[in-house]
Amino acid sequence: MTLLELVQSKAIAAALATSIVASPAVAAEMSFAVGFPDKQTNTQAAYVMAEYVADNTDIDVKVYPISLLSLAETSAGLRDGLADIGFVVTGYTPSDYAEMGLATNLALSANSTGKQTEYPGAAMGLAVTEYVMLHCPECQAEMKKMNQVYLGGGSSASYSIICANTEIDSAADLKGLKIRTAGPEYARWVESFGAVNVKIPLGEVYEGFSQGVMDCMLNPPNSVEGSQLYDVIKQVYLGAPKGTYAAMTTGNVNLDAWKELSVEEKTAFLRGAAEASAFTSWNYLNEGEVALKKMEELDITVKPVPDDIVQTSADFAKSDIATVAELMKSQYNIDDVEKKMNTVVELVEKYKVLTEGKERDRAALAQLYWDHIMSKVDPATYGS
């Protein structure tokens, strides 16, 4: 090789090395399955989490509303690696998440007793998250068995009675009505009034109302906006059952995918989950108030439930605690049920105080998630 050829060869090699170093790193991509439409609160929360992770790591989290996995498919699909992250409704497969179900089954009773608050959703979301992440090793074992890592969750706003065309002037008017519910505690509530519990997916309630399959449903007001029910309902009764729905996760991560992340990346996911969980509870309330304003403009009746329903509902909530305890023991063989339930109730009371006046402050709620829960776990070992 001549001197000229040697110089040219080294120059080419140096140029290649420089180009390799200078090339931008290709961002890793992770899939996030949400079985709801794009504009629904939990889907929007997924975008919040994805954006935080993207801003603080080289990971591109791509959200798939409905298209990747349905709500019913997400738990098993996430376990099997069909998605990297998923919005899991634990209430769909309660036997897989029985220990967490002990907490979420108290969403009616815990919110109807103790300190009374007009907006219990934020407190319930925080309480369940702290319970699962910091106080319930059995919950963590369930998640691990499902090949998932739990990163928290939010909660719906207070449940109301939303009807197609049914005047409710007393508790007696509930008898015989076909009422759609979400969660076993609300099915028991409906049946305690002599009404009929109807199981219909949230995505089918419009048809359920328009075809007369159901007379009413128990849901927070934001569901009217989310499912665009304005032209198939005529009444909304506020103030009962009063509980919330918290049997859902913000975004569980597939355990195998989690193990591939660095400590810094896991920290970003935890922080992003705090932001997204806060968004969930905040937006359920915020969107519900938008829906109530729109209902007034459309002459949909919005009024408090009759007093006798409020009192009967409060009595039911207190007595249902014992029902939940027996259910956890007999159906799911959970140990130390009363002790665990007391822990959940104490956490709900704790967060009723801490969230008071902050229910509409999304940043403040996110900080509560981080300060009291997510920052307390070691990202290097959590979930593994």
Per-residue model confidence (pLDDT) at position 25: 44
Which element (helix H / strand E) includes 252? strand 252-254
Q: Are 68 and 33 in contact (CB under 8 A)?
A: yes
Write the CA distances from 123 to 81, 236, 268, 345, 351, integer angstroms.
32, 24, 23, 11, 5
Per-residue model confidence (pLDDT) at position 384: 87
Residue 210 lies in a domain: no
Residue 318 lies in a domain: no
- Looking at residue 273, which CATH number applies to its domain? 3.40.190.170
362-372 and 263-297 helices, crossing angle to 10°: 150
pTM of the shown model: 0.90
pLDDT tens per residue, range 254-269: 999 999 999 999 999 9
Residue 221 lies in a domain: no
Per-residue model confidence (pLDDT) at position 27: 61
Write the CA distances from 150 to 40, 85, 245, 297, integer angstroms.
21, 10, 17, 41
Residue 209 lies in a domain: no
Residue 22 lies in a domain: no
Residue 286 lies in a domain: yes
List the beta bridge partners of residue 62. 31
Residue-level length of the chain:
384
Residue 35 lies in a domain: yes
Residue 143 lies in a domain: yes
Tens of each residue's pLDDT in the chain, 384 residues: 443 344 344 444 444 344 434 333 446 999 999 999 888 999 999 999 999 999 999 999 999 999 999 999 999 999 999 999 999 999 999 999 999 999 999 988 877 778 888 899 999 999 999 999 999 999 999 999 999 999 999 999 999 999 999 999 999 999 999 999 988 899 999 999 999 999 998 889 999 999 999 999 999 999 999 889 999 999 999 999 988 999 999 999 999 999 999 999 999 999 999 999 999 999 999 999 999 999 999 999 999 999 999 999 999 998 999 999 999 999 999 999 999 999 999 999 999 999 999 999 999 999 999 999 999 999 999 998
The span from the CA of 80 to the CA of 142, in Å, is: 15
Structural domain boundaries, residue 278? 28-158+246-297+335-376
* Structural domains in the chain (count): 1
Distant-in-sequence, close-in-space partners of 266: CB < 8 Å, separation ≥ 6: 258, 379, 380, 382
